[in-house]
Amino acid sequence: MGSTYWVDSHNRLSFQTAFRAIHGLPELELASICVNLTLFLVFLLIISARQLFVCVGRIRLLKDDAPSVAGSSPVRRTGVGDGETRDVVVGTIFKFSLFCCFYVLFLQFLALGYDGIVLVREAVSGEVQEWTVLCLPASQGLAWLVLSFWTLHCKFTACEKFPLLLRLWWLFSFLMCLFTLYVDGRSLLAEGYGHLSAPVLVNFAATPALAFLCFIAIRGATGILVMRNSDLQEPLLLEEDSACLRITPYSDAGFFSVLTLSWLNPLLSTGAKRPLELKDIPLLAPQDRAKANYKLLNSNWEKMKAENPSKQPSLAWAILKSFWREAFRNAIFAMLNTVVSYVGPYLISYFVEYLGGKETFRHEGYILAGIFFSAKLAETFTTRQWYLGVDILGMHVRSALTAMVYRKGLKLSSTSKQSHTSGEIVNYMAVDVQRVGDYSWYLHDIWMLPLQIILALAILYKNVGIAAVATLLATIFSIVVTIPLARMQENYQDKLMAAKDERMRKTSECLRNMRILKLQAWEDRYRRELEDMRSVEFKWLQKALYSQSFITFFFWSSPIFVAVVTFGTSIMLGGQLTAGGVLSSLATFRILQEPLRNFPDLVSMMAQTKVSLDRLSTFLQEEELQEDATIVLPRGTAAFAIEIKDGEFCWTPSVPRPTLSGIEMKVQIGMRVAVCGKVGSGKSSFLSCILGEIPKISGEVRVCGTAAYVPQSAWIQSGNIEENILFGSPMDKAKYKSVIHACSLKKDLELFSHGDQTIIGDRGINLSGGQKQRVQLARALYQDADVYLLDDPFSAVDAHTGSELFKEYILTALAAKTVIYVTHQVEFLPAADLILVLKEGQITQAGKYEELLRAGTDFRSLVCAHQEAIGSMDIPTHSSEDSDEGVALDGPTIHHKICEASVSNVDNLAKEVQETASSSDKKAIKEKKKAKRSRKKQLVQEEERVRGRVSMKVYLSYMAAAYKGMLVPLIILSQALFQFLQIASNWWMAWANPQMEGGNPKVSPMVLLGVYMGLAFGSSVFILARAVLVATFGLAAAQKLFLMMLRCVFRAPMSFFDSTPAGRILNRVSIDQSVVDLDIPFRLGGFASTTIQLIGIVAVMTQVTWQILLLVIPMAVACLWMQKYYMASSRELVRIVSIQKSPIFHLFGESIAGAATIRGFGQEKRFMKRNLYLLDCFTRPFFCSLAAIEWLCLRMELLSTFVFAFCMLLLVSFPQGSIDPSMAGLAVTYGLNLNARLSRWVLSFCKVENKIISIERIYQYSQIQSEAPAVIEQSRPPSTWPETGAIDMIDLKLSWWEEDWDCWENREWEVYIDPGLVPALDKSQLGDVIREKDEKLDAPVLESGDNWSVGQRQLVALGRALLKQARILVLDEATASVDTATDNLIQKIIRTEFKNCTVCTIAHRIPTVIDSDLVLVLSDGRVAEFDAPMRLLEDKSSMFLKLVTEYSSRSSGIPDF
């Protein structure tokens, strides 16, 4: 009880006693204290004046410079001058000065701590304490705290001279040290060691440091060297929006602006006038951008991996090492906030005693009210700075981790890609990175909870004595019980994330192949499969949410349990409770219950974050491509362009047989090398080994110069055609035109509505296969590389275009380049300097065309197969009189003749084909196209976003989604009953206990405790009911919304998928759905809870002092106005944030799909920069959105703090006895929580409206215009349909957009053939391939079929068609990527097995279609010809004849291009 007496006695010291004690200090100490405090006040005055002048100057500058801002150029801000950059070098003198300051600071705090401990010991032993001994070390500690950090600040402002006041302060400190040394020296000589004390020892130890600082003060120079360069200007961002060149005012805001968040006022003002756009949002400061944070985190991560390769590196530790400064700064605000929040509960007992008539000193009531007000004010400001700080920390972590995941995705090896699908990697970015970033909110709770418990125990010890021990035990019990709950939560989260990954993988796959699903009528089957996957996910979601409900109930009950234990123990030990002590304890429990209630969230978040960190860490440590797989030499440093020595490569290292083996090759600079072989022989893998894509087992690969790569499966980026061709290179008009010509793209661009500015849909959906291939070729040609690797570039184009491409592209444009091209078209082989024949992963033959033909074996079989295909064509002969340009061909003997057609013949044939339409028609078409370009919209539009308030329809649709909204009133009723019983239990304790010590209680202790327990635990029952109801409501609504969106998306017409990037849909089914699953129901429940709590607080306060209604009503009006003002901007910011997420996911999906192409061109850095830019575009509105929330909460809390202060003044001003002190204390107890509840209410409301945007976005995709019903009962055909396999197209017009009707002209054509289909695996030439695999038919097919060659994938699709037994078979370039021999076999099978089936074949190989019953020839989107092939071949003006002639002349004699 001694410490209690000491606290009480010191709280009651009069000002006169304090003044006499200070006046009794030695003159030297008194002088030191006064001068230090005076200099401290001067420092504060200078800082305040400087901030005032800065603000005034900035306002004037904004007015003067407003017109010139738009014309300025983006330069890096340096604080020195426009366009001026500088390098700062910190010298040894500054470092030593800084060390001396912190050394003296350490000594002063050491002395302060020592003297404080001595005083505490004296107090415990009952001795009289001289508290004035703390004055000197406290004042000096404060002084050196300012001096140390002021010195450190000089480094960040790059000061070359120390400030004058700082130097004067150092001089004074050294002089005082000398005087003190003189006095202490004399005393030591006179009194001996008895004079030694902590201040004396500290003074001796600090003398050398102070002497050095005195020398620096006289010298003035800091030792910081600033090197300026005014000629260098650097752009802020390479791709920054030119409309916005302003950096956020937060980067250089003054103290007052940062404290009040007024730097955000201009943006909010703009948002209140009109809907915000991305260009309105200022740029991030350089230190907040994704690039800076990524570099910092990646550097620490790589260091940790390099330091101990055998040890598993900790991603959490790398994050902490990277961002510890921000975390430490937030910790300071968190600690200050925690300390000041307990000032009110500590003083309540004194306030109740004062109202009861016990006044210790004059004006005690007003002084107490002032302390209450000051503490709440400090709590308000520190809370907002703390919350904004953790938001910024989370933002930095998310940006850095997203960039690391993206970079890793670009570098994943083939083995690693097999274990991480693109859907899983999207989840790493969408969910796991988000969780790790969100953990910044819970980072400080780990150490703050013990601190809060210690402060609470100190207050409780003052109020209930030794019963505080029971509080501690009850609190520990409440926390320990959560350990099994945490493990359960972690297990559920693991399972939930695994199920979500699987669903996302399947969703991504379905979206990529939606055209196939719809053409095959498989969408319902795959939708049901996704619904089944969602059911598995939903099962774990149920367990997670219901377990979370019970955890919530447990921890909302924990403060009640702790209070009951505390009061029960105090009563049993015979202690007397007073109204003031009980209210002080209840206020303490109220503060303590917040961290205890949040503890389940902390436990859950720790479990979730650990899971996410483990997943991210595992992914970031996955194997990357071998850096030494290919040795790249500078241009001109080697005799050979490509050299492979004894190469052995394998896609899957565990497979005993390598993919490629025994590869030996030397390619001289400027050579043309052709690669041929059957399907699955390893041709594409051969190109991959040159690029370093395939894991190298042994050997060496050298490439001299830069490379360009054209993959077999075209990879086209979303964007316009020009961007795809330039591929990051600057525009050179002459070069660009020559590339367009070489790739035969000029005519295609004229047909497009916007020319080369036409936006390409997702994965090039609005381009034909041939157009995509030629855009790829143009991209490679424009890069002007040294080595060109072309994987089957002519398979997707017709005979004429293929000839043109080979002549203009390979033989002309790439005449001086090294070219390796894979091809199945034998006619392009003779032009090669070297032909490589691959079989089963080995080069079986190598040489020139004639040499290989003479050698026979594999190459001869390929050529014979080609000749067989040509020989099968029966082409009529036209006399020279009939056609001057026609080439006489002799049917079966055509392949024995040498074609006499030269390049001019090819040109003439092409010219004839092009001149089919008259010049007048062409001119009319061109003018028509040009006129339409200006008014046509692009295929892919910017993502739609709703503007203005979220429609009430969205809220109502969500409410009605679960049990038609019947649970909503039950949730509100449960929360209202909880709040009522909570207030009743507190009122009971305040009313039943005496106001002063020694007073008589109104009821017996057992009745007191029994009623309190009944009311308190009764309230917890309703919390359980509310938690379960919210979880039930959320689960039902989330599932209904998901199914509604999924079914609507799958029923959407194909035009929706053509014009909507997959990233937009994935964004909704991933992030938005996660928000609906896990966030929105609890946000709504929290909003209802906070609203009812706020009503309860105001009701209790008005019950005691109704006069506060005079302020509450205007405050409510002001709050609503500010909330409306804020929401105008916040709503748009959140929508912009949602929209800016989609491009990040879309780029990621594209980059993963085209990683080989990106790496082949060496463009990893450019794509990484693009990703960082998109991250900044997302972070800009996100940061402003976070700051806007704090802006609003700060103003709301300030209003409520003034209302609370007004209430306190009213209570103090009332005559004693006019109000019940117990009830007044209860009002103060609830009033202490007013600002926190009000800001929480506003925050809940705003976050509900912001989060509800996810429902709005899902609702958008639940209202997509549906395609025609799957079944129309009155039009349902008989079960035997189609009986004849007829296809009728009458007056058909098709377009990417509805207003463009001129793509197909009015035509009528019909096909009639009897049906019949016999499925067989061997017929698709896959039997032997599958038999060789260990798993046989269970052999895995990876995402996009990446572990099968493109030709094999086409055969799989063909086999699937064979097995379907359909009446109509449509083959769209089904054999384009297979060799001629395989194609011949397949064509024979189709002709025999499908003779009774309607077969529609789209092909560029003439032998594939020559024996069809009818041939349809298309030109520029119009039907040019439609007739039997023999009749078309007999017509000398037929376009089909010209195509056949072109193919025959090219193929039979294999012309010398």
For the segment 614-650, what is each residue's pLDDT rounded down to a tens digit?
989 999 988 888 888 888 999 888 888 999 998 999 8
Q: Which of 843-852, 990-999, 1260-1269 has the lowest average pLDDT?
A: 990-999
pLDDT for 124 equals 67
Answer whether residue 375 shows pLDDT above 80. Answer: yes
For the segment 1281-1297, what is each residue's pLDDT rounded down to a tens digit?
777 777 777 776 665 44
Answer whether residue 169 shows pLDDT above 60. Answer: yes
pLDDT for 998 equals 57
pLDDT for 1249 equals 74
Q: Are 936 and 753 in contact (CB under 8 A)?
A: yes
pLDDT for 1311 equals 37
Average pLDDT, the chain: 76
Q: Which of 99-103, 410-414, 922-926, 1229-1233 has the lowest average pLDDT?
A: 922-926
d(CA 1446, CA 910): 8
For the segment 111-129, what is each residue's pLDDT rounded down to a tens digit?
888 777 777 777 766 665 5
d(CA 907, CA 744): 13
Identify the band that residue 12 occupies on the pLDDT scale cut at 50, 70 and 90.
very low
Per-residue pLDDT, averaged over 422-445, amounts to 84
Q: Are 373 and 1204 in contact (CB under 8 A)?
A: yes
- Tokens at residue 1208, please? 């306190």
Q: Which of 92-106, 274-288, 598-612 has the lowest average pLDDT?
A: 598-612
Identify the band that residue 938 occupies on the pLDDT scale cut at 50, 70 and 90.
low
Select the more confidently predicted residue: 858 or 508.
508
pLDDT for 23 equals 45
Answer whether residue 241 shows pLDDT above 60. Answer: no
Q: Residue 1091, Cα to own-chain centre: how many angstroms?
A: 32
For the segment 1153-1167, what is each residue's pLDDT rounded down to a tens digit?
888 899 888 889 999
Answer whether residue 82 shows pLDDT above 50. Answer: no
Q: Judging by DSSP bridges, how do beta strands 672-677 and 818-822 pair with one another?
A: parallel
Distances in Å between the Cα of 1404 and the Cα atoms of 769, 816, 909, 1375 are 11, 29, 17, 10
d(CA 588, CA 599): 17
Per-residue pLDDT, averaged over 778-785, amounts to 92
Most confident of 511-525, 909-923, 1438-1452: 511-525
Single-letter amino acid, residue 392: I
Q: Is 1369 exposed, middle or buried (0-12, 13-18, 19+ CB in 10 A)?
A: buried
**pTM of the complete model:** 0.65
Answer whether residue 15 shows pLDDT above 50. Answer: no
Distances in Å between the Cα of 604 and the Cα atoms of 374, 491, 492, 608 are 35, 11, 10, 6
Name residue 698's beta-bridge partners: 648
d(CA 803, CA 822): 16
Name residue 558's beta-bridge partners: none
Answer whether residue 843 shows pLDDT above 60. Answer: yes
Q: Are 263 and 246 in contact (CB under 8 A)?
A: no
Per-residue pLDDT, averaged over 1056-1080, amounts to 81
For the segment 182-204, what is each residue's pLDDT rounded down to a tens digit?
777 777 777 766 667 777 888 88
The per-residue DSSP string of 510-548 comes to: HHHTHHHHHHTT-HHHHHHHHHHHHHHHHHHHHHHHHHH
Tokens 């497009």 correspond to what residue? 752
* Total residue length of the chain: 1457
d(CA 141, CA 111): 9
Answer whether residue 1394 shows pLDDT above 90. Answer: no
Select the more confidently predicted residue: 417 or 813.
813
Select the more confidently predicted residue: 1324 or 1093.
1093
> What is the share, in percent, of the chain residues with pLDDT greater than 70?
78
What is the dihedral sign for C-alpha 720, 726, 728, 732? Answer: negative
Identify the band that residue 895 occupies on the pLDDT scale cut at 50, 70 and 90.
very low
Name every residue whose Cβ is closer than 8 Å to that of residue 1399 and which is 6 or more positions away in sequence: 1313, 1368, 1369, 1370, 1371, 1390, 1412
Q: Are 603 and 485 in contact (CB under 8 A)?
A: yes
pLDDT for 900 equals 33
Answer whether residue 1304 shows pLDDT above 50. Answer: no
Name every residue whose Cβ is closer than 8 Å to that of residue 1003 and which is 6 or more positions away in sequence: 992, 1011
Tokens 């109509």 correspond to what residue? 1368
Closest by Cα among 112, 108, 115, 111 to 129: 115
- Kindly report the number of other CB atoms within 10 A of residue 1233's CB atom: 21
For the segment 1124-1164, what is each residue's pLDDT rounded down to a tens digit?
888 888 888 888 887 888 788 888 888 888 888 998 888 89
pLDDT for 412 equals 87
What is the dihedral sign for C-alpha 1342, 1348, 1353, 1356? Answer: negative
Q: Which of 468-482, 598-612, 877-891, 1435-1449 has the lowest average pLDDT?
A: 877-891
Answer whether residue 1187 shows pLDDT above 80. Answer: yes
What is the dihedral sign for C-alpha 1372, 1378, 1384, 1385? Answer: negative
Residue 79: DSSP 8-state: S
Per-residue pLDDT, averaged over 80-94, amounts to 60
Closest by Cα among 413, 431, 415 to 423: 431
Select the more confidently predicted residue: 785 or 1263.
785
For the segment 479-512, what is each residue's pLDDT rounded down to a tens digit?
777 777 767 877 887 888 888 888 888 888 888 8
pLDDT for 790 equals 93
Most confident of 257-266, 905-914, 1109-1118, 1329-1338: 257-266
Tokens 């016999």 correspond to what residue? 1318
pLDDT for 778 equals 93
pLDDT for 127 equals 65
Residue 1333: DSSP 8-state: S
